[in-house]
Every structure is written in C-alpha cells, then in structure tokens.
A and B are shown apart, each in its own frame.
Chain A
Amino acid sequence: MYQILKKQKLNPFVTLMEVKAKDVAKNAKPGQFIILRVDEKGERIPLTIADTDIERESVTIIYQIVGLTTKKLDKLNEGDYLLDFVGPLGKPTDISLLKDVLVIGGGVGSAICLPVVKALKLQGSKVDVILGFRSMDLVILEDEFLKYSNNLLIVTNDGSYGKKGLVTDYLSLYLDKKKYDQVFTVGPLIMMKSVCEITKKYGQKTIVSMNPIMIDGTGMCGGCRITVGNEFKFACVDGPDFDGHLVDFDEAIYRNKMYQEIEREKDCRLLKNE
C-alpha cells in the first residue's frame, strides 16, 4: 500500500499527488512513469513522474480527470492509500548532450515537461518553454516553469491569459531565430503531431513523449505498440520518448480511442453507484 502524502488541486481538472514509494523515488529519472491501481477492482494506468523527493521517499504525479480511474483516484485524499504503485518504468529522457532546448507543453502534458526542464536547468542548459492551455483557469505550474526556464511563453486558446491562440502559432517565431539542439514536446497527440509537422520543415530534431494504453508497463502485453519510422515499438520499454518525426500519430490517435465507448458506459455506472 502506498500512502498519499499530499494532494493539491492545480486547476479544476488537474491534481497533484505526492505518494510515498521509496524504491521508485530512489531510482526515478526525468521522463519515466509509474503504473498505479486505485483499488481491488481498478485497472492499471500509467502516469508520468512529475517529481521525486528522496528524503521524503516520495514520487509526485500530476493527473487530469479524464476517465473512470482518474475519477476514482481523485476521490482519495491525503493519508489514504493507493493499492498498487510500480515503477520507474520506461527509459529516462536523454538530456545529457543538450545545451539549448525548446520545450513545448500542452495542458496536463506540461506537468510531464517540468522534470525535464528542471533537469536541463540543473545541468546548466538553456531552456525556452512554450506552454499552451485552453484558458486562464487551466494554467498550471507557472511559478515552477518561471523558476527553471530561461524564457517562458504561455498561450491560451481564448487569449484570457498570455498570448492568444495555439502553441503552434508561435513556434515558428522561435525556430526562425535559431536552431535548438532539440525540441521536446508533450501534450495532446494532435498538438504533438502539429508541432512535429512544423519542426520537420525546419529540420529541427524533436522528441515526443507518448502515453498510450497499457497494462503491465514491462513489455508483456504489447498493448502500447506504436509505429515509429515503419518499425514496431512498445512505448513502455522502447519509449516513452520517440523521434517525433517518425511517429505515426494518426495511428496513435485511433489506438487511444480503442475503449472510449466502453469507458463511457463504465463511467455511467460509477455515477449511478454514487
């Protein structure tokens, strides 16, 4: 059992949770993820590690309430326990040789970018950050990104905060000025796809972090398979980071919808039981 040490709402749909998990905390690196199960009848879901604290023996996750499991998860409070919490899974994001990086986060994907931005800053790299949200009330982690980036641009779709529009509306302004060692982007699949289409035109190397449906996270189920440059990859063990110019996003978008209909039915049941 894994105790929840802290729970904090970052916006109406996104929550931060610090969970006690000593061994995971000790070995986790930026870009890796965990798999958790809320209760005995729950499913296993992957969530990216947002932070770790070795002294507190804790791992921080940030999740958006999107389906049945995140809804159940959000019902738990500080002091409660998660049934299962396993990791760190996947390969860490490789930042060792990077000196100048542009990071683009979308919505809750921004949370996944934060540990990478932090690690880059700590190794002395320059980091520009663009974050996109639907509106002002959904903006998260602004202070943290201000602290660890050299330059932060926030974009909201409705213009209620920062610049108005989509992150991709501003991307070219950055790429026109210079070539980065790497662009790193995490967000909705459709956003990552659009970012990659633009960076490809510039010949700008771009890494994306994929978060497909999976069960075990160790390569056993094969449910997380994606196509990368006509090759077959398991996101859980070969990724989650991949060369964004080689990822078949259309396929990934379809695969992520595999259980949408069933999820909706199960959701209704949860509501009925309440």
Chain B
Amino acid sequence: MNRRVEMRVLDPEIRIKSFQEVALGYLPDEAKLEAERCLECKNALCIKGCPVGIDIPSFIKQIKEGNLKEAYKIITKQNKFPGICGRVCPQETQCESKCIRGKKGEPIAIGRLERFVSDNVEIDEEELPTIQYEKVAIIGSGPAGLACSGELAKLGYEVHMFEALHVAGGVLTYGIPEFRLPKRIVKKEIDLLEKMGVQIHLNTIIGKTKTISDLFNEGFKAIFIGTGAGLPKFMGIPGENLNGVYSANEFLTRLNLMKAYNEEYDTPIRKMKRVIVVGGGNVAMDAARCAKRLNVEDVTIVYRRSEKEMPARLEEIHNAKEEGINFSFLTNPIRIIADENFNVKEVECIRMELVDTGNGRAKPVEVPNSNFFLPADTVIMAIGNHPNPLISSTTQDLKVNDHGCFIVDDNLMTSMENVYAGGDAVTGAATVILAFSAGKKAALSIHKKLRGINE
C-alpha cells in the first residue's frame, strides 16, 4: 500500500515519433485500487494543498464506490476543468505534497484520479442557463478567461470572449503540447462554453482591433482581462538574434498552434540536429520534448541550478529523461556563436554553483574560468514570460506595477471601475489552476458588483 498504482504510458521509443498523449490514464480497476489507498483523513491536509480547495477525500470516496458522476460533481464545485488540471497541475508541490501516505511511501495519485474522473464520467445534460443580465466582455480565452466565462454564463450573463489568435484556448492551445494536453480536451471545454451561450470572437485584439473604451461604448457593463503572461524573456547575452535562436513561445506556437510538425501545414520550422533548451520549468521540458519528436538526435536542457531546484513537474522531468533528453545542470549560457551564415554554431557556457543566501532559494553564481562550449544549431530560450503590454499601453487609466502586471484590489478589480483582471496578467507567470481560480473569483466579484450585492 506504500506504492501508488502505476499509470500506463506510451513507450518512450514509440512516443518520440509522434505527438500522441504520453500518459494514458488509469483503467477503472486501477483507479479503484489507487482510490482504496486513500485514508479519508478527517482533517484532510490535501485539501489545504489544493489552490482551489477541492474536497479531495470525498471525490476519491466516490471513486471507491464507483460513482463517477458524484465524484465529478464534487470536483467541479471548485474546479470546472478537471481534465485539464489532472494533466497539468504540479500535484507533487500541491495536494499530493500534503498527503499523509507520502510520509511513509508514495502519496495518493490525486492528479491521476482527477483526470480519470473527467475522462470517464458521462455528464448529464445540464439545463442551459438563460441570459437575463448584462453583457460582459472577457479578454483572452486562456485558463482565466475560460473560467470567468463559464461562471458568468452560468449566472445568466451575456458573455463575449475575445481572442487575439485564430483558435481559442490561450496557452492551453498554443503553448502546452498535444502529447501532454490533447487539444480535444481543451476543445471539449470550449465547446461546452459555447453551448452555454458564450460567444467567442477570434482574431480580435483588444487594445488594437478594439479598445477597452470601445467595449464600454458597445454596451458591455464589465470587462475581465485574462491576457496571461505571453511576452517572452530573453537572456540579454550576445548572439540571441542569430538564426536558430527561438523563444520557447515561438517554437511551441509553430508546433502546437501552427502544426509545423505536420508536413501538410505551411508553417516552417528549422531543420535541427543539436538543440539546446535553456530553462528548468515545464515550458523547457515541453520545448525539449517537442524537439525530440522532430527527430532531433541531441537535445540538451541547460539549467543554471541543480535538478532539485527545477520548477517543472516531476512527471515531465521523468518523461523527458525517458525520452533521452540530456540535462546539463548548474550551467548557464553566456554567449551564442555564429557560423559564417549567421546560424547558431555553438553556445559558450559557464559552470554555476549554488550559494546559500540565507533567505530561501539558493542563488546560482558563476564559477570563474569554468567556460566551455556546447555545439548546437538551435537554442530555445524557456526562461519565462512577462505580461503583454498591449492593453495597458492603450488604456491610460489601467495601472500596472513595475513588472507590467495589472494592479487589482481584493475583488480583482483594476484601477478602472468595472474592469477586472486575473491569472498571469496579474500575478506574472504562474499555474493553470491559479488562473482558473482567479477567473472564477473575478466572475463572482463582477456578479456582486453588477447586482449590487454586498457581503
């Protein structure tokens, strides 16, 4: 009972030849067996570890009893998107990190069970909400926008969601690869919103195609900004503009959104033999694993701290290793060197060591004279993103902080009356679940404000 039930995955040899989903999920028997491990603690710490406070022991209990509809109901009270969160949440630092089973063995596989419920439940046709209230605009169709739209539609608002790209879903669509989050899962959630009456306007960039004040003039009574953190950071080292240096955003967008891996699509991607990915988060893992699937022999993740400090999900690090991705820890690029045609030829790196500064996370510092060269034809920068300034720069009254993040009050209202914001656009790059939670919270604030409900 100390070990969790293994989840079936595609064989590494097979999966690096396709973009098919790697994790295959539990079968009903496996899920039941894993659920049986749950001790149903009275004072369940896992709930405290969940950013949205899902009643985890209760939904697991329903799995034990074979009652998936009830399990689904319990989860979706707090989180409408278990199929997505079960796949992308960093459970090992959230709910699972608090599980009492984890003290002497492996914690309950809460994420896998959450996903199992979502993938296997047959949802009853819910009564569709009727529109009885004002028009509300949602800017951005990523996690925060999806959650906000769903909640407001359910409450009876006329919801219009605006998306800059030609497909809805935000980072779930352009960023997270098919093999980790199949696009059919995202599409299912978006279809459901449309069924609930949410109108999606693609190819519409608020701040450009229309402004915030245009929206108010069109009769929208409240606006939610869920534009995420989509502006890629670069390191500021020499050679970053060479041909062959991508931001992870560009690399992933070419593949996930534009399907450059499929010959039939027009969007090109470089021909690569040696790829270096800089960073240690999920985005770095995604980029490296995408590169591997393009038949690249040598993919190396370069990270300035050690393995222990990597912010990526454990499962993704494990998957990346299985797929033959190399890791160079305590390493930082300092210069990218060109061949005679302006293409990347190699990367000069330096060794790092971790110094305890006494205030939490160890700080990486350069080891003098430890420079070395890694050959590469492609370098992918996966070192984080800033919020996009398109809206803040075209809306004078909207206040942002030094990082470009919207400043909001406790109800997630910005410096502009009836304009709300949430998710990465407020916090800077964070997790999908926190954005879902912020979107939902903003929806409830909007409802209270427009209906004049005081606490």
A122 at interface, CB cutoff 8 A: no
Whether A216 contacts B203 in the complex (CB less than 8 A), given A23-B210, A24-B209, A222-B247, comes out as no
A44–B271 Cα distance when bound, in Å, is 20
Contact assessment for A41 and B266 in the assembled complex, using a CB-CB cutoff below 8 Å: yes
Question: What's the least CB distance linking A263 to chain B, in Å?
Answer: 7
Q: Which residue of B lies closest to A86 (CB)?
A: B203
A221–B246 Cα distance when bound, in Å, is 8
Give the size range of B's interface with the partner. Answer: 35 or more
A30 at interface, CB cutoff 8 A: no
Between B266, B268, B341, the greatest number of chain A beta carbons within 10 A of the residue's beta carbon is seen for B266
A84–B210 Cα distance when bound, in Å, is 17
| Of A95-103, A169-177, A194-202, A223-231, the one touching chain B | A223-231
What are the residues of chain B within 8 A of A41 when measuring CB–CB?
259, 264-266
Which B378-408 residues have C-beta < 8 A from chain A? Answer: 388-390
Between B205, B258, B264, B270, the greatest number of chain A beta carbons within 10 A of the residue's beta carbon is seen for B205
Instruction: Flag A10-50 by CB within 8 Å of B: 1 or 0 each.
Output: 00000000000001100100000000010001111000000
Partner of B390, one of A37, A215, A218: A218
Contact assessment for A222 and B254 in the assembled complex, using a CB-CB cutoff below 8 Å: no
Partner of B241, one of A227, A237, A259: A227
Question: What's the least CB distance linking B232 to chain A, in Å?
Answer: 4
Question: What is the number of residues of chain A that contact chain B, defined by CB distance less than 8 Å?
Answer: 40
Contact assessment for B243 and A84 in the assembled complex, using a CB-CB cutoff below 8 Å: no
- Report which B residues bind A (CB closer than 8 A): 164-166, 174, 202-205, 208-211, 230-232, 234, 236, 240-241, 243, 246-247, 249-250, 253-254, 257-259, 264-271, 341-342, 388-390
Instruction: Flag A111-141 by CB within 8 Å of B: 1 or 0 each.
Output: 0000000000000000000000000000000
Overall SS of chain B's interface:
loop
Partner of B208, one of A85, A88, A259: A88
Question: What's the least CB distance linking B310 to chain A, in Å?
Answer: 23
Question: What's the least CB distance linking A38 to chain B, in Å?
Answer: 9
Q: Which residue of A lies closest to B388 (CB)?
A: A219
* Given A68-B266, A222-B231, A223-B250: 14 more A-B contacts, CB < 8 Å: A27-B208, A42-B265, A43-B265, A85-B203, A86-B166, A86-B203, A87-B205, A215-B250, A220-B231, A220-B232, A220-B249, A222-B232, A222-B249, A254-B342
